[in-house]
């Protein structure tokens, strides 16, 4: 069978459809369900995903003026550490000066335009590989070869053009345009919800990057609603509720949904035993392939045991997780341990957050191609008392890489969505008013950036 994303097929589509339980809307009485239909459905032009013109507009009016996560603070921990951050066709050097300050510069030699660095490393100065001009970590030009032959050239004009750089939750954020609102202001609508998780203390369990055959928005949108659980991940819904889910869009294009876990979908009311819920919950956890051998063995042992009388799967996991992490994040309510708080930081960062665990995605345009993106799959963990340290990034090119079933199911869809949007038979997508509001929230915010940075109006 063909596979648009190159990964293994999970199961045949016919089987997948057989696994979807028929659903009678009259059986759902949960109050959340009543919010469905409360907001108008939305239509989005497919051009916004597939046209080179739209890529160009984003490059001119969105990416330069928004903050985006580029990496973790520990990647440039020491003076002289540097990393290259690429977004579309732009490349930025992120470095730490001798004084310990983070800096970001346009990655370009001011002589004839050679990129100064590739990848990451450690240096005491940036030396152009072409004719050897040099810059300090502070971005000052330090050397021009045969300077006498450049009459009138001023050293000040050779300063590396700076971008804005700051940190939040242990991530380095960059905004290519130096001037604009601070990162603190930018994140104000959601920072207070995130701060009690103390993500700045987490270490990188894995940071895997791949090229996905879909627009960066197509890719992120696969993770911003649980409306697709029935169709794409039917094996999970006895351990995740796709009904009792608040969706919220915040000012600035950020958004949130809260998915109850370790409970079956409200559509299955009373039809999944606690023992089944436990089994599915453990399968879901093991599926992300992030547990170490010890954790795997403990979970497998748990799955085989009957739950103590009167204990729910939810109670069990709440106790386990609180035992491990509550002392590091005492402000968090007990419910947070059995809910997946799933955030979008506008424009391109989406993540599932549990106390002590972060699992998320960052998508960036791949050069000028509307049909592919660079996609980071990032897992962070609180080290607790285990003394864990961050692992380095990996670039995944093996189409057979084991992403686990859930992620492989999502990846399988992406290439098909992107190819589908090129068909003559569609001009606009159709989005559910409530359950898909995070998706149109991003499109609305992008439209605001296009308007605000329209050169004809400024």
Residue 440 contact partner, candidates Fe ion, ligand FES, none, CB within 5 to 8 A by sort of partner = none
Note the helical H segments in 96-204.
183-186, 188-194
Contacts of 458 (CB under 8 A, 6+ apart): none
**Strands 141-143, 134-135: parallel, antiparallel or unpaired by DSSP?**
antiparallel
Q: What are phi and psi of 147, to 5 degrees?
A: -55, -30
Residue 339: helix, strand or coil by DSSP? Answer: strand
CA distance 351 to 378: 9
| Partner that binds at residue 410, options ligand FES, Fe ion, none, CB closer than 5 to 8 Å by kind | Fe ion
* Measured CA distances, 57 to 1, 62, 132, 169, 455 (Å): 37, 7, 35, 30, 11
By C-beta, is 84 or 410 nearer to Fe ion?
A: 410
Pairing of strands 134-135, 126-127: antiparallel
> Please, what's the b/e burial string for 34-48 (b: 16 or more CB within 10 A of its CB; e: otherwise)?
eeeeeeeebebebeb
CA distance 339 to 334: 9
Q: Which string of x and - marks every residue 237-276 that binds ligand FES (by CB under 6 A)?
A: ----------------------------------------
Cβ nearer to ligand FES, comparing 70 with 109: 109
Closest approach of Cβ 366 to ligand FES, in Å? 26
246 — phi, psi (to 5°)? -75, 135
Residue 130, binding choice from ligand FES, Fe ion, none, Cβ under 5 to 8 Å by partner class: ligand FES
Residue 200: name the closest of 322, 75, 73 by CA: 73
* 126 vs 317 by CB, closer to ligand FES: 126
- Binding partner of 114, given ligand FES, Fe ion, none, CB within 5-8 angstroms per partner class: ligand FES
Q: What sign has the CA pseudo-torsion 85, 87, 92, 94?
A: negative
Nearer to ligand FES, 112 or 118 (CB): 112
- Provide the minimum distance between the beta carbon of 54 and ligand FES in the complex, in angstroms, as a whole number: 33
CA nearest 358: which of 374, 343, 373, 338? 343
Q: Which is nearer to Fe ion, 274 or 410 (CB)?
A: 410
User: Minimum Å distance from CB 388 to ligand FES?
Assistant: 41
Q: To the nearest whole angstrom, how small is the minimum distance from the Cβ of residue 273 to Fe ion?
A: 25
Instruction: Determine if 133 is a binding residue for ligand FES (CB under 6 A).
Output: yes
- Provide φ and ψ at 405, rounded to 5°: -65, -45
The pair of structure tokens assigned to 60 is: 């001119």
| Least distance between Fe ion and beta carbon 219 (Å) | 11
Q: Choose among 379, 374, 377, 381: nearest CA to 355.
A: 381
User: Rounded to the nearest whole angstrom, what is the least distance from the CB of residue 237 to Fe ion in the complex?
Assistant: 11
Q: Counting contacts by CB under 6 A, is residue 134 touching ligand FES?
A: no
CB of 232 to Fe ion, least distance (A): 5
Contact call for residue 410 and Fe ion (CB under 5 A): yes
- Position of tokens 């627009």? 215
Which one, 3 or 114, has the nearer CB to ligand FES? 114
Nearest residue (beta carbon) to Fe ion: 410
The least CB distance from residue 117 to ligand FES, in Å, is 12
Closest separation between CB of residue 57 and ligand FES, Å?
30
- The whole-angstrom separation of Cα 201 and Cα 163 is 26
Residue 118 interacts, among ligand FES, Fe ion, none and using kind-specific CB cut-offs from 5 to 8 Å, with none
The least CB distance from residue 132 to ligand FES, in Å, is: 6
> Contact 165/139 with Cβ under 8 angstroms?
no
368 binds ligand FES (CB under 6 A): no
Region of 115-123, 124-132, 200-208, 406-414 interacting with Fe ion (CB under 5 A): 406-414
Whether cis (ω within 30° of 0) applies to the bond prior to 385 is no
Q: Which of residues 103-132 bind ligand FES (CB under 6 A)?
A: 109, 111-112, 114, 128, 130-132
Strands 255-260 and 369-381, sheet pairing: unpaired
User: For residues 154 and 457, which CB has a smaller minimum distance to ligand FES in the complex?
Assistant: 154
128 binds, among ligand FES, Fe ion, none (CB under 5 to 8 A by kind): ligand FES
The enclosing H or E element of 411 equals: helix 405-420
Nearer to ligand FES, 158 or 406 (CB): 158
Stretch that binds Fe ion, among 25-33, 105-113, 151-159, 404-412 (CB under 5 A): 404-412
Residues that bind ligand FES in the complex, under the rule CB under 6 A:
109, 111-112, 114, 128, 130-133
Residues that bind Fe ion in the complex, under the rule CB under 5 A:
410
């Amino acid at each position: 069978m063909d596979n648009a994303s190159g990964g293994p097929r999970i199961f045949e589509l016919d089987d997948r459809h057989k696994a979807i339980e028929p659903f009678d809307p009259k059986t759902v009485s949960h109050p959340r369900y009543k919010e469905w239909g409360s907001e108008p459905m939305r239509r989005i032009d497919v051009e916004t995903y597939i046209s080179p013109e739209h890529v160009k507009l984003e490059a001119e009016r969105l990416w330069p003026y928004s903050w985006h996560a580029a990496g973790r603070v520990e990647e440039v921990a020491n003076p002289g550490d540097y990393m290259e951050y690429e977004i579309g066709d732009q490349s930025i050097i992120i470095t730490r000066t001798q004084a310990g300050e983070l800096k970001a510069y346009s990655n370009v030699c001011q002589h004839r335009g050679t990129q100064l660095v590739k990848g990451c490393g450690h240096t005491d100065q940036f030396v152009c590989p072409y004719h050897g001009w040099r810059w300090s970590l502070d971005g000052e030009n330090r050397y021009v070869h045969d300077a006498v032959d450049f009459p009138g050239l001023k050293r000040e004009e050779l300063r590396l053009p700076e971008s804005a750089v700051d940190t939040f939750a242990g991530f380095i954020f960059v905004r290519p345009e130096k001037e604009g609102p601070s990162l603190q202001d930018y994140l104000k609508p959601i920072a207070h919800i995130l701060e009690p998780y103390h993500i700045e203390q987490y270490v990188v369990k894995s940071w895997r990057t791949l090229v996905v055959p879909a627009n960066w928005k197509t890719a992120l949108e696969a993770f911003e609603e649980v409306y697709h659980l029935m169709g794409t991940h039917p094996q999970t819904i006895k351990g995740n509720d796709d009904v009792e889910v608040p969706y919220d869009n915040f000012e600035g294009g950020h958004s949130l949904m809260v998915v109850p876990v370790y409970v079956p979908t409200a559509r299955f009311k009373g039809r999944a035993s606690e023992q089944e819920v436990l089994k599915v919950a453990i399968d879901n956890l093991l599926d992300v392939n992030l547990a170490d051998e010890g954790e795997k063995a403990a979970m497998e042992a748990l799955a085989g045991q009957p739950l103590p009388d009167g204990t729910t799967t939810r109670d069990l996991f709440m106790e386990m997780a609180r035992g491990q992490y509550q002392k590091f994040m005492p402000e968090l309510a007990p419910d947070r341990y059995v809910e997946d708080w799933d955030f979008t930081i506008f424009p391109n960062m989406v993540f599932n957050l549990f106390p002590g665990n972060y699992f998320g995605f960052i998508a960036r345009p791949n050069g000028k191609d509307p049909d592919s993106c660079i996609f980071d799959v990032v897992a962070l963990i609180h080290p607790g008392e285990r003394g864990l340290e961050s692992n380095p990034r990996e670039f995944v090119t093996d189409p057979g890489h084991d992403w686990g079933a859930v992620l492989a199911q999502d990846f399988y869809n992406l290439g098909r969505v992107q190819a589908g949007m090129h068909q003559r038979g569609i001009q606009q997508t159709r989005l559910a008013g409530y359950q898909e509001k995070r998706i149109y929230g991003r499109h609305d915010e992008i439209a605001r950036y296009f308007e605000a940075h329209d050169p004809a109006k400024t």
